[in-house]
Amino acid sequence: MSNKHIPEIMAPAGDASSYLAAVAAGADAVYVGLKHFSARMQANNFSISELARLASLGRDRGTKTYVAMNTLVKPGDVESAGRLLDRLRATVQPYAIIVQDLAMIELARQVGFQGEIHLSTLANLSHPAGLAVAKKLGANRVVVPRELNLDEVKLMADACPKDLDLEIFVHGALCHCVSGRCYWSSYLGGKSGLRGRCVQPCRRLYTTGKQDAQRLFSCNDLSLDVLTKPLLSMPRVTAWKIEGRKKGPHYVYYTVRAYQMLRDNPQDAQAKKTALELLDQALGRPTSHSVFLPQRAFQPIQPGEETSSGRLVGEVKRDQKKLYFQTREPLLPGDLVRVGYEDQPGHRTIPIRRKVPKRGRMDIPFSRKIQGPPLPSGTKVFLVDRREPELVKLIKDLEKELDFFPAPEAKESTFTPTWPKTAPRAKIKPENTTLFRTPPHGKIFGKTAFWLERAALSKVPRASVSRSQWWLPPVVWPEEDKRIRSLLKEAVKKGAREFVINAPWQAAFFEDRKNATLVAGPFCNAANRLALKLLKDLGCSSAIVSPELPEEDVFALAQNPPLPLGFVLKGLWPFGIARFLSETVRFDEPIKSPMHETLFVRKYGGNNWIYPAWELDFSSEYKKLERAGYRNFITIKEMWPKAVPRPKRTSVFNWKLQLL
């Protein structure tokens, strides 16, 4: 195997200590976030000057620095995102940036960024045909979804155009919903996963039927460990990525060393055993191979089991008014322990100040910052980060080396984006479109639209096919690529002309269909003028705005847009779309959250749609949207499940919020 076929080990770093731990472990690359525009805003993240020093040290040690600027860019963010990228280019000089929003690709070009552009898994490029579109837009690498199995990764690798590579997650957290297709946290309070603010509602306890509350949507972590060997035969898979920018240096060091062993010694049984031991010591959450082996897929959701991070070291006891625990293993100064589960009220993380021997007593300090009742006796305590003397010394030695790399002089950027031309304002009357799964009973006023599914194509009268709009699914998996092409061929043969793509990469299906009219759908998550401009370059004649955006952004987007705009006005909008589903969950049955919100799950194709048990309704904003220039208004019609009570409420999503 030649050197160029050896995949790089990519380490996460949410702070300087973790970055240095990655360098000490010999990571080939470290990916980090800045204080803004990072999809892990809960991590400490880096300032430009701090990162510049670390990146210089990394270059000196042969470690590349990748910067994740992988959040949704709102209308008012474009200038600041461009200036930050300009400063990053001039000061840090990262090897690559990782992006979700199409605007970041355009901004990188405008500021003269010379590094590589990697498409984040949040960009949701999930099928082979879309890879050519990514290359066309200027991407050098695509991070594939964590839901792919080995055969699907091979399909993607085989379809890669020249000079485009793939990156795959080999270890770390699994989200329940597909990346880039989760609005759950945003729906319940404006903290958007697309903006790096997810509060992880999928990790909570949920109740279905007469069962006790369980973690119905909480996935075990992913660990491909010994299953990484087949990836070595795929030259286009050039990077193995470890998730965990909120983790500490202990986790980073151990996981990097483990995957180095698995990569460099694929035939060595002892190396595999040692690697597994290192991963077991990394203090992550419980792991599985998930669906990676298609012939032996593992359900990553075990509702009856706890999925907390860290290693169990004790349980809370009460001595008069004091809380304490007796540790099951020695604790070292600098270790971090978490008392309680992450979603448990009153949970906290506390540092260990002194050495505590095995079976020694550790008092839990009182904190006025913790709201709510005290944690009950029996609450579990977890070791979540370790400070071994050897690792601490390695990090301190590298900190001394940082002195040879002084912080660069701070320079402000004067960058101003070059804006796309404004589309002529349409002088047509607003058009109301109703989106169905299958033909409805009775007469429909306005335009009809259908999801591109076999059932709809076979039942819609031929005369209506050409007058209807046809929506592609928000997620297309590798093995569905050919099926979508077949459905499109059949639809065009029956006269269909207008299609809604729900990911930019789906434009690949229409490169040989010059008569097709393309609309960028709401799942494209276009939230700024530059993203709309690139969608126009891909052949879209208009775009439908996601209902996730708040009022100020919806109206800001309507000012001088390069494409005519539409808006999802009413109907069921999903919390998220998932490939995983617990065997405990039944379709179209009510599921209740700890906050008494009701939701239900429905299967369409290869995906599970998780819906809130209430609809969106922006009807009261219709006239304002029309005056702002919106011309296409979508009502989404879904059959209401019989077992789920009809709601007395509707939602306007984030309309009155700020979308953090």
Residues 66-105: tens digit of each pLDDT? 999 999 999 999 999 999 999 999 999 999 999 999 999 9
Report the sign of the C-alpha dihedral through residues 169, 175, 177, 183, in that order. negative
Distance (Å, whole) CA 238 – CA 393: 32
**567 phi/psi in degrees, rounded to 5:** -150, 140
pLDDT of residue 2: 41
Mean pLDDT of 442-471: 91
Helix (H) or strand (E) holding 141: strand 141-143
Neighbours of 458 (CB within 10 A): 9
pLDDT score of 316 more than 90: yes
**18 phi/psi in degrees, rounded to 5:** -70, -35
pLDDT score of 442 more than 80: no
CA 476 to chain centre: 16
Distance (Å, whole) CA 550 – CA 658: 6
Distance (Å, whole) CA 265 – CA 258: 11
pLDDT score of 299 more than 80: yes
- Residue 411 CB-density burial (10 A; 0-12 exposed, 13-18 middle, 19+ buried): exposed
**What are the start-end ranges of the H helices in 160-302?**
184-187, 249-264, 269-280
pLDDT score of 4 more than 60: no
pLDDT of residue 319: 87
Mean pLDDT of 200-216: 91
DSSP codes, 506-556: GGGGGTT-TT-EEEE-GGG---SHHHHHHHHHTTEEEEEE-TTS-HHHHHH
Structure tokens at 587: 């379709």
Residue 274 β-bridge partners: none
Say which range, 235-249, 413-427, 640-654, has the weakest mean pLDDT: 413-427
Confidence of residue 44 (pLDDT cuts 50, 70, 90): low
Confidence of residue 336 (pLDDT cuts 50, 70, 90): very high
- Residue 286 CB-density burial (10 A; 0-12 exposed, 13-18 middle, 19+ buried): middle
Confidence of residue 41 (pLDDT cuts 50, 70, 90): low
Mean pLDDT (the chain) is 93
pLDDT score of 210 more than 90: no
CA 413 to chain centre: 29
Region(s) of the chain under CATH 2.40.30: 311-383
Is 431-651 assigned to CATH 3.30.2010? no
pLDDT score of 240 more than 70: yes
Neighbours of 472 (CB within 10 A): 22
Given the candidates 1.10.30, 2.60.40, 2.40.30, 1.10.3470, the CATH classification of the domain at 311-383 is 2.40.30
Exposed e or buried b per residue across 380-392, where buried means at least 16 C-beta atoms within 10 angstroms of its C-beta: bbbbbbbbbeebb
Confidence of residue 659 (pLDDT cuts 50, 70, 90): confident
Q: In CATH, what is the architecture of 3-172+220-290?
A: Alpha-Beta Barrel (3.20)
514-559, pLDDT tens digit by residue? 889 999 999 999 999 999 999 999 999 999 999 999 999 999 999 9
Among 85, 134, 132, 141, CA closest to 110 = 85
pLDDT score of 128 more than 70: yes
Distance (Å, whole) CA 250 – CA 649: 47
pLDDT score of 648 more than 80: yes
Largest Cα–Cα distance in the chain? Answer: 79
Distance (Å, whole) CA 33 – CA 31: 7
- Residue 568 CB-density burial (10 A; 0-12 exposed, 13-18 middle, 19+ buried): buried
Mean pLDDT of 204-208: 93
Region(s) of the chain under CATH 3.20.20.60: 3-172+220-290
Confidence of residue 423 (pLDDT cuts 50, 70, 90): confident
Task: Report helix, strand or coil for 313.
Answer: strand
482-506, pLDDT tens digit by residue? 999 999 999 999 999 999 999 999 9
346-355, pLDDT tens digit by residue? 788 999 999 9
pLDDT of residue 3: 47
Neighbours of 432 (CB within 10 A): 16
Helix (H) or strand (E) holding 182: strand 177-182
Among 473, 477, 475, 499, CA closest to 488 = 499
pLDDT of residue 365: 84
pLDDT of residue 653: 96
How far from 599 is each of 176, 358, 363, 547, 612, CA to CA, in Å? 15, 45, 41, 19, 4
Contact 608, 579 (CB under 8 A): yes
Task: Report helix, strand or coil for 120.
Answer: coil
Structure tokens at 174: 């699994």
What are the residues whose beta carbons fall under 8 Å from the beta carbon of 637, sequence distance 6 or more? 434, 435, 436, 437, 440, 571
pTM for the model stands at 0.94
Residue carrying the six token digits 């997650």: 169
Terminal Cα distance for the chain, rounded: 46
Distance (Å, whole) CA 595 – CA 497: 45
Task: Report helix, strand or coil for 417.
Answer: coil
Instruction: Give the rounded percent of residues in the chain with a pLDDT score beyond 70.
Output: 97
Q: Which amino acid is at 129?
A: A
Task: Report helix, strand or coil for 201.
Answer: helix
